[in-house]
Structure 1
Amino acid sequence: MPTIDFNGLPTLVGQEVGVSDWVQITQERVNQFAEATGDFQWIHVDVERATREMGGPIAHGYLTLSLIPFLSKGLLNITGVARGINYGSDKVRFTNMVRVGKRVRVRQKLLAVEPRAGGLQLRNEFTVEIEGEDKPACVAETLTIFFAG
């Protein structure tokens, strides 16, 4: 995992920060997400019907999005940081279904670093890739503010 100091973050703008390991999307994970969110749409949790009508169940789009922090946690070590906060997303697109049993990973590119609220706001593009498929599952631009410490 590459390491960079807080003040050096602007030097990474425009660069790919890293690519995560693959993580398998299991039916158990999909069911747990359904429990946590109350989204029990049959395409996600009714394995028999989804298999019969669609070739198998698919993960929730928001499950895919919610995996970004987990998948990206080991891509870049930033030293000199007291804390970081999630500031939101500017753009999220779900461009492909993730079928249960597939593996996904994230590719991170740093798009911008700007001063904000006494810290640095990072705009990252995260592309959630599906193993063996050309079209990604999700492309999201996220905002994070880091504060020096």
Structure 2
Amino acid sequence: MVIINSFEEYKSYEGKMVGVSEWHKIDQEQINRFADATLDHQWIHVDKDRAQNDGPFKSTIAHGYLTLSLIPYLWKQIADVRNVKMEINYGIENFKFGQAVPVDSEVRLEATVKSITNLRGTIKAVIQAKLAIKGHVKPAYLGDVVFLYHFHEN
């Protein structure tokens, strides 16, 4: 895990792959809980029998937004950004879903720091997020997430 304590330390990772998270298994229970939380009960996600018989993947699949929502959790396994007063999930840019994530797949985040900018004391970090699926060549998605940080003054 990378430890970052300041803008200057963050800036030193610009243009570099920071690391990869641990593997995380997405099981049917997590998919069902996400469906309940988002009111998205489309059969491809929650109806195992129909998905197996009628679906293109022969199993249920994770919601795309479920896989996106894992970014903060998986990112914190890669980088420990310390000495911050506040951290904000600011946005996502240029995201493309490349492959569905079948139930019981294991995924992990691969993160590269694309840019670090000091906006008059607010640090804008653009991180390229690639979600790998164990046993698959093509990632679930690739795109940029944007975090804003307010570091404590030293």
TM-score tier (shorter): over 0.9
The number of equivalent residue pairs is: 149
For the aligned residues, what is the CA RMSD? Answer: 1.1
Which residue matches 1:42?
43
TM-aligned CA distance change 1:135 to 1:99, over 3 Å: same
For structure 1, which runs of at least 5 residues remain unmatched after alignment?
Answer: none
Q: Partners of 1:117 and 1:138 in 2: how far apart?
A: 32
Mean alpha-carbon deviation: is it higher for 125-134 or for 112-121? Answer: 112-121
Which residue matches 2:84?
81
Deviations 1:93-144 (CA, angstroms, capped at 9, x unpaired)? 1110000011101000000001225211000011000000000001120111
Instruction: After TM superposition, list the pairs within 5 Å mapping 1:98-109 onto structure 2.
Output: 98-109=101-112
Q: Match of 1:4, as an amino acid?
A: I
Q: Partners of 1:2 and 1:8 in 2: how far apart?
A: 10
Q: Partners of 1:83 and 1:126 in 2: how far apart?
A: 21
Do residues 138 (structure 1) and 150 (structure 2) align? Answer: no
Deviations 1:18-56 (CA, angstroms, capped at 9, x unpaired)? 100111110000000000001111100110000112211
| TM-score, structure 2 as length reference | 0.92
Q: Structure 1 vs Structure 2: percent identity of aligned residues? A: 37
Which residue matches 2:123?
120
| TM-score, structure 1 as length reference | 0.95
Which residue matches 2:5?
5
Q: Does the CA-based 8 Å contact 2:15-2:114 persist in structure 1?
A: yes
Q: Secondary structure at the match of 1:48?
A: helix
Q: Match of 2:87, as an amino acid?
A: G
Q: Match of 2:18, as an amino acid?
A: V
Q: Secondary structure at the match of 1:126?
A: strand
Q: Partners of 1:67 and 1:80 in 2: how far apart?
A: 23
Q: Does the CA-based 8 Å contact 2:100-2:140 persist in structure 1?
A: yes
Do residues 65 (structure 1) and 68 (structure 2) align? Answer: yes
Mean alpha-carbon deviation: is it higher for 38-47 or for 117-126? Answer: 117-126
Deviations 1:50-100 (CA, angstroms, capped at 9, x unpaired)? 011221111110011111111111211223322211111122111100000
For structure 2, which runs of at least 5 residues remain unmatched after alignment?
Answer: none
